[in-house]
Structure 1
Amino acid sequence: MKLNLTTGIIPSLNVSAGLLGFFFVKSWTKFLEKTGWLKVPFTRQENTVIQTCVVASSGISFSGGFGSYLFGMSEVVAQQTGFNNAQNVKNPQIGWMIGFLFVVSFIGLLSAVPLRKIMIIDFKLTYPSGTATAHLINSFHTPDGAKLAKKQVRTLGKFFTFSFLWGFFQWFYTSGNGCGFSSFPTFGLQAYNNSFYFDFSSTYVGVGMICPHIINVSVLLGSIISWGIMWPLIGAKAGNWYPAGLAPGSLNGLQGYKVFISIAMILGDGLYNFMKVLSRTIIGISQEIRDKRKAVIPVVDGDLPEKTFPSYDDEQRTKLFLKDQIPIWFALGGYVTIAIISTITVPKFFPSFIWYYILVIYIVAPILAFCNAYGCGLTDWSLASTYGKLAIFTIGAWAASSGGGVLAGLAACGVMMNIVSTASDLSQDFKSGYLTLASPRSMFISQVIGTAMGCVISPCVFWIFYKAFPDLGIAGSQYPAPYATVFRSMAMLGIEGFSALPSHCLELCFGFFVAAIIINAIKDIVGKMWAQYIPVPMAMAIPFYIGSYFTVDMCVGSLILFVWQKVNKAKADAFGPAVASGLICGDGIWTLPSSILALAKVTPPICMKFLSSADNIRVDNFLS
């Protein structure tokens, strides 16, 4: 949730979930064995089920839209963007958030059930994250793997403790806006004013260690292009390109360029990857159908292909995977039932989101869920947010005439994102279960339980942030929730069209939209060897709106891992994810006590601020 509300960059935490699941349950079962209460060993199948449940639960903090579409409905975001009339604003409340998530989060699981045999057995899709998680869990349950897992958990614990205590230490110096280590002008005050500084965030150092090096370089390049070059130049055009003296958050001024150019790059990248994955999906399916037809056409003896037989392990995996069936009638009946309940219920939360909008989404969603699950199996890239943006534009424009288009578009985004996101997540987990010989039915039930937990836990965690930090969602604050502004601005763009853009913004948006497509095309043309050196447009777009401070943190994390790999690659590969997870989790957990202190109106005792020498003289003169 903290990652969601700060920059929106959320790395995969599957490894952390698998590692901690192994550690906690292994410790518990050892205790029970010593007491004589337990005779059954802790297996990799149980480890897989635990990991599935935890990831399903935490995944709701992303697909639930607390940093994007759901919070984008709020008055705080509306006041910074526009369309802040009653029809287009809905402030967060625990009750309706939990209710909304319960009626939209489960239908994606049911849409994935009929696809599991096609994806895993027939098409043999790799699902890289699911496969990597399965191999990790399998390794834990070997003698050597168990020893390494203990060392990894010990490393994670050390850095978790360090990160938590570092967050606690920093808190003492943050009694006011712009106070503390997070406002340290590392590269000087001029660079600080353009958001270039190291803010001592262990979270984003850890994120930088998990993310590929090219992602970290891409966000740094994006921040240099935007905050280092473009915004100072466009800022100098105040009074010419846009009125001078506008409020800092007005989309008619510099803020509009930041938001809409960022959106243009995100849409260009999303459109390219959508078309690429869709074309690969169509080609893959047609190839499978062609191969099956060839298999039944008689051929002459000389043309017989060399027959390949599956290994004994694959035979056993397939046998177990197909034995423990989830009935198709259950999935289809459940889909229709939940769709009916949702169609009736969701308009109660959002009156402008009329029932037939939802019905159209539920008719189209299974096709998009299949495309997303298939594409994720090929590329490990979930396009859930892209499908959500598609829903924003289509439903928002459709509902524009009723006056509640912004809210309807954002609600449609939520319905669509939850369906396609959970469908691809469950397919990943089915692949993990296939490789660890875990029962598909137990995987499905675990995903359902985890989703139900997430529908309660995530809104409660978000509510703590919402109540503890009054400036949540405001640009430049500790928790700016950048994607909330981006998603709401997209909904406005779908309704108003290009009239919402300030002068010359459309030309710049078009240029960056095309640039994102060209960069992606070049990455695919040059091949894997050179593609690793070409930046990722989606990552470049993130700092355009948010700022550059987190990019410095991520690059520090990336540099630490790079040097570590040069010194001892085996150790870096084994312990790097554990160190990163510890840094992220420790700083994230510190947010809970800091939120409680904020709710209790306990303020830190010290404000540490940095001033220029001229400002310092003025302050001294004033005090004297």
Structure 2
Amino acid sequence: MEEKSFKPFISADRVLPEITPVSIGLGIMLAVLFGAANAYLGLRVGMTVSASIPAAVLSMGIIRIILKRDSILENNLVQTIGSAGESLAAGAIFTLPALFMWANESDVVSKPSFWVIAIISLCAALLGLIFMVPLRSALIVEEHGVLPFPEGTACAEVLLAGEEGGEKSKTVFSGLGIAAIYKFIADGLCLFPSEIDWSIKKLGTGFGADVLPALASVGYICGKKISSYMFAGGVIGWFVVIPLISFFGSSSLFPPAKAPVSELGAWGIWSTYIRYVGAGAVATGGIISLIKSFPTIIRTFKKAMSGFGHKIESEERTNRDLPMKGLLILALAIIAVIWLFPAIPVGLLGAVIIVIFGFFFATVSSRMVGLVGSSNNPVSGMGIATLLIATALLKSTGHTGVAGMTSAICVGTIICIIASMAGDMSQDLKTGYILGATPRNQQIGELIGCVVSALAIGGIMYLLDAAWGFGSKELPAPQATLMKLVVEGVMGGNLPWVLVLVGVGIAVAIEIIGIPVLPVAIGVYLPIHLSTPIFIGGLLRAFFGNRKDEKGKEVTEKGILYGSGLIAGEGLIGILLAVFAIIPLSNGKSLLQTINLGGLLGNVGGVIFFVLLLASIVFFTRSKKKAK
């Protein structure tokens, strides 16, 4: 579709409320809400989900039903601000927990302060915003009808459907409430274990599932293909590699383990050996994704560069961006902060390299989400590629040891957040383009979301680390652990490269077959207990939403909305339980320890409650609207 023939829902000559106290206040609340929920989800399973659609639905429910206001552009600005929290959290949790893990492992290293996290996150988020402004014309306007931007288009459809009423918001709120109750019973009261586990002694391995709402929801949202790829990776790790190590290793002791294989058990073998195999597979998958998209990267990069020197003046409201002169001044100020900020000792050259890499990967991210959606955005691959180069450069210039590794992680954090923010913002701008929003107002909304989310993420991370600790069973922080291993390996040369290269071989074999590498690689890297409920959620969607007609589309849409609510509900209670875990009582125990029932119902109780949860997904996706 040509740009000239496209007409937005709200024409350029109409002016509706966009930036209002209501949209700003509600957007800020949702930015913190979804930032916290996605931080918890990403640290638990290594995946995050787009917050644009659930934020839009919640906004419609509050603005239309409760406040009785009627402006689709005001709703759009709420989801624009709200989704910024999710995207910033997604970039931050891929890398920053590595600094906490180093601090927990050594008394010499200190944790990054709240303000260090806030400044790094804010600088990165603002750079992502700055880089996306010249990309808007090239990707959103000129290629309308060419790049589908799945989430952005879907979010616009949800908001347009909201013109008929706020029925969809009830589905999201229902999921949020049910997940909140379920999570509190499972991980608060501990009536049943949220992780059910069985040992398979003959194979020297085990099997189980984390019976939690967010995981089944991730599977439903991702669909059968992606979830089955993840589960296949789990099968490779837990039913191929672990049994082989257990069989051939027996009583032998192989580094990096400090005990014989026979004493490790399935979980010990996974944490000592399989994680390195998975790290090699994930790193290779990320690099393959970048190589395959390289021609697209170059084309988009050229267009974006021409955008910096060419600005089309337009009186049309729907084509007004923030002024590039002001953004360039802001970019120079950010470079100065990165250059002079002691927590990122990379010098002026390093700051310039960060900006160049950041803009380069912002073009990658924006283009990729335009083609395949935010769920397939290779942010981790970009982060790994950046860390490999940054760590090698820092090491060659004398920045070694903990200081050099800290600098590398900070550089990787900035790149990850830039890529994540650029991808999210491109989806939001696509939604706005379809609806007829003012780009400048959306960009201001993103700016507000950046500031709020940057201030919130530090507190969220400190809270979660205090409650459970990054790298623990409750919060494995898979992506950050992988980044940590990459930096340590390049800087110290102490990685078990044989295991890493085995992962590389697995990834190459998967690519040769023609299957997407990253989902399988993440399945290898994560415990099978996480990929099992994700796979079940994917099967649920395939079984109930496989019809290609309007009925099938309606069922899928309801399931995604309900699943988004489940994710938000579990994430919120996860944060609440983290607060309970650090509140001391007079008996010396925390509040969470005091209410703990010790898994009274056992594995059977976990299975029963999980089946009931799955039944709720079926009920809410199949339920019919009441006749008016």
Q: Above 0.5 in TM-score?
A: yes
Letter in 1 for 2:458: P
Q: Once the two structures are superposed, what CA deviation does each residue of 1:209-249 show, in whole Å capped at 9, x if it has no partner? A: 11121111111111111111101212342626546617979
Distance 1:266 1:64 in 2: 18
Residue 474 (1) aligns with residue 512 (2): no
- 1:49 Cα shift? 0.8
**In the alignment, what sits opposite 1:377?**
370
**Structure 1 residues 285 and 5: CA distance shift in structure 2, 3 A:** closer
**In the alignment, what sits opposite 2:518?**
538
Residue 269 (1) aligns with residue 285 (2): yes
Letter in 1 for 2:393: W
**In the alignment, what sits opposite 1:389?**
384
**In the alignment, what sits opposite 1:9?**
47
- 1:438 Cα shift? 0.4
**In the alignment, what sits opposite 2:360?**
367
TM-score (normalised: structure 2): 0.77
- Describe the SS at the equivalent of 1:349: coil
Distance 1:457 1:285 in 2: 32
Q: Which has the larger radius of gyration?
A: 1
Residue 182 (1) aligns with residue 194 (2): yes
**In the alignment, what sits opposite 2:338?**
342
Correspondent of 1:223 among 231, 234, 238? 234
**Structure 1 residues 360 and 576: CA distance shift in structure 2, 3 A:** same
Letter in 2 for 1:584: I
**In the alignment, what sits opposite 1:326?**
322
**More divergent stretch after superposition (90-99 vs 106-115):** 90-99
- Say if 1:473 and 1:481, in contact at 8 Å, map to a contact too: yes
Alignment map for 1:494-513 (pairs within 5 Å): 494-497=490-493, 499-501=494-496, 504-505=498-499, 507-513=501-507
**In the alignment, what sits opposite 1:459?**
458
**More divergent stretch after superposition (9-18 vs 508-517):** 508-517
**Structure 1 residues 252 and 200: CA distance shift in structure 2, 3 A:** closer
- 1:433 Cα shift? 0.9
Alignment map for 1:401-550 (pairs within 5 Å): 401-403=398-400, 404-469=403-468, 472-475=469-472, 477-497=473-493, 499-501=494-496, 504-505=498-499, 507-519=501-513, 522=514, 534=515, 536-550=516-530
**In the alignment, what sits opposite 2:34?**
none
- 1:121 Cα shift? 2.3
Correspondent of 1:585 among 548, 563, 568? 568
- Describe the SS at the equivalent of 1:480: coil
Distance 1:134 1:192 in 2: 50
**Structure 1 residues 402 and 326: CA distance shift in structure 2, 3 A:** closer
Q: Once the two structures are superposed, what CA deviation does each residue of 1:139-163 show, in whole Å capped at 9, x if it has no partner? A: 222x3xx2xx41x222222232222
- 1:268 Cα shift? 2.1
Q: Which blocks of at least 5 consecutive residues in structure 2 are unaligned?
A: 1-38, 306-313, 584-589, 604-628
Corresponding pairs, count? 532
CA RMSD of aligned residues (A): 3.2
- 1:14 Cα shift? 1.8
**In the alignment, what sits opposite 2:117?**
97
**Structure 1 residues 512 and 449: CA distance shift in structure 2, 3 A:** same
Correspondent of 1:46 among 57, 62, 74? 74
- Say if 1:184 and 1:197, in contact at 8 Å, map to a contact too: yes
Letter in 1 for 2:72: R
- Say if 1:170 and 1:181, in contact at 8 Å, map to a contact too: yes
- 1:278 Cα shift? 1.9
Alignment map for 1:16-415 (pairs within 5 Å): 16-30=54-68, 41-65=69-93, 68-75=94-101, 79=105, 86=108, 89-124=109-144, 125-141=147-163, 143=164, 146=165, 149-150=166-167, 152-171=168-187, 174=190, 180-185=192-197, 190=201, 194-236=205-247, 237=249, 239=252, 241-242=254-255, 245=259, 255-282=271-298, 319-322=316-319, 324-345=320-341, 348-351=342-345, 353-380=346-373, 381-400=376-395, 401-403=398-400, 404-415=403-414
**More divergent stretch after superposition (119-128 vs 10-19):** 119-128
Letter in 1 for 2:90: F
Distance 1:255 1:285 in 2: 40
Distance 2:546 2:131 in 1: 45
- 1:288 Cα shift? 13
Distance 2:470 2:324 in 1: 43
**Structure 1 residues 190 and 456: CA distance shift in structure 2, 3 A:** farther
- Describe the SS at the equivalent of 1:438: coil
TM-score (normalised: structure 1): 0.78
Correspondent of 1:598 among 550, 569, 581? 581
Distance 1:575 1:252 in 2: 40
- Say if 2:199 and 2:205, in contact at 8 Å, map to a contact too: no
Letter in 1 for 2:537: G
- Describe the SS at the equivalent of 2:78: helix
Alignment map for 1:609-624 (pairs within 5 Å): none
- 1:284 Cα shift? 7.3
**In the alignment, what sits opposite 1:608?**
599
**Structure 1 residues 487 and 287: CA distance shift in structure 2, 3 A:** closer
